[in-house]
Amino acid sequence: MHIHILGICGTFMGGVAALAREAGHRVTGCDAGVYPPMSEQLRALGIELIEGYGADQLQLKPDVFVVGNVVSRVHLADGTARFPLMEAILDAGLPYTSGPQWLAEHVLADRHVLAVAGTHGKTTTSAMLAWLLDACGLAPGFLVGGVPLNFGVSARLGQQAAGQARPLFVIEADEYDTAFFDKRSKFVHYRPRTAVLNNLEFDHADIFPDLAAIERQFHHLVRTVPQSGRVVVNRDAESLERVLAQGVWSEVAGFGTSAGDFRARGEPHDFEVLRSGQGLGRVRWKLTGTHNQMNALAAIAAAEHVGVAPAQAAQALADFENVRRRMELRGTAGGIAVYDDFAHHPTAIRTTLDGLRRRVGPQARILAVFEPRSNTMKLGTMKARLPWSLEAADLAFCHTLGLDWDAAAALAPLGQRAWAGGDLNTLVAQVAKAARPGDHVVCMSNGSFGGIHAMLLEMLSNR
């Protein structure tokens, strides 16, 4: 089969492309500003990439066009289509489908799918789960919204392990909508037998009016889990309790800090895994933060459903290397450490900084540098929570390019601890001026942040 993917350089669609290529299909694709790292990963797989969405790509004559959710029916001010290829596909009546639908039909069918959903921690928990299953000899396939350092790729098909009724497949289950023609959450296509509900807060203000609307989508996911399946749920989250109250037809395994079957005792980097007060195993690893402790409990509970003993899973996590862009140390210059992190939601920013604070102690300084780049943050829906999210930082720097709301006013409760501005070079200069040996600088964005990490390290080295 020849598939042509629209929006191929996105993490999810790039993963779909890699899986299709590994399965033996011919894969081509297009995107606007074909960009690394996904472009490099795809070219290494022999996938032809085309710049832009020109209608002339119909000449490729694929068996089906696979459409990413970046594609829309939007027309520009001059009346031309932003995605002329999509308009041409519709006019010609050619076959097309969404990425999640193609994945469900051609990869996930007849597999035991372990889906990890939640506002926060989906990528990290998916990578954890894939790693511990692999370390325990189960050779799972996976599609993760990042690059797990243990594997070096974001997706693979995997194999059927001895003793398993079906091949295992771990997937990061996103609640964002599927495509312009399918407004259901992506995860309803995956039909998991093991579903992890990690947490649930309001997000994606561009497509969801309120938290209740997202809870409804999560319950749609719960409805797809079979009676023989398992729903692993964070019992600390009231929103998830409301989801389950709408009905659940599968085994439920809870985890949490104060409730649930699986709990932790000890520090986030070294803790015992408990069930009903009884010790099951111990996790000693490099990760920090209570959020990662909870992610580990979720992964352990999910792995148990496919036969991995919690003690074995806990031991396997000792070698988990995390995911790129999750508190990834990009370098040290002049005694100042510069990290890259994907955090962009206020809760994620807070848990990231809290985890670093626990690791470096109260005396070390933390400089938080962040970019409100997600659709929700650009709308200003959560601007009032920014001071709360930055409490663990000694200084905070906000890049305001593209914002329609006053970031300086939102950060005013932090007083002289906060700086806001729209010019990236000025921002880098301000951070470099404020930083001193022993500091930890955390750059947080769900985008490339204009290459700020390299800029900072260069300026710090030359000052």
Q: Which residues are annotated as a binding site?
A: 118-124
How far apart, in whole angstroms, are the C-alpha atoms of residue 102 and residue 23? 13
How far apart, in whole angstroms, are the C-alpha atoms of residue 17 and residue 130? 19
Beta strands in 226-358 (DSSP E): 230-234, 251-255, 262-267, 270-275, 278-284, 328-333, 336-341
Question: Do 330 and 357 touch, CB atoms closer than 8 A?
Answer: no
How many beta carbons lie within 10 A of that of residue 382, not counting itself? 22
Specify the DSSP class assigned to residue 155: E
19: helix, coil or strand? helix
Structure tokens at 363: 């005396």
How far apart, in whole angstroms, are the C-alpha atoms of residue 297 and residue 124? 12
Q: Ramachandran region of residue 346, left (φ > 0), alpha (ψ -120 to 50) or beta?
A: alpha
How far apart, in whole angstroms, are the C-alpha atoms of residue 381 and residue 376? 6
352: helix, coil or strand? helix
Name, in order, each residue with C-beta under 8 angstroms of 162's C-beta and a sequence gap of 6 or more: none
How far apart, in whole angstroms, are the C-alpha atoms of residue 132 and residue 309? 11
Q: Can you say which residues are annotated as belonging to the binding site for ATP?
A: 118-124
Q: Find residue 97's DSSP bridge partners.
A: 66
